[in-house]
Amino acid sequence: MKLREYAEKIIDMLDEYADLDVVYGADDEGNTFHRVVYHPSIGKLVDDTDFIQYDVSEEDDKEFWEPGEKPTAICIN
pLDDT, residue 73, reads 94
pLDDT one-digit tens code per residue, 15-70: 999 999 999 888 888 889 999 998 899 999 999 889 988 876 666 666 788 888 88
Q: Is 35 exposed, middle or buried (0-12, 13-18, 19+ CB in 10 A)?
A: exposed
Taking all residues of the chain, what is their mean pLDDT, rounded to a whole number? 88
Tell me the pTM: 0.69
Which amino acid, one-letter code, is at 43?
G
The b-or-e profile of 9-33 (16+ CB within 10 A means b, else e) is eeeeeeeeeeeeeeeeeeeeeeeee
Would you list the domain boundaries of the chain? Answer: 3-75
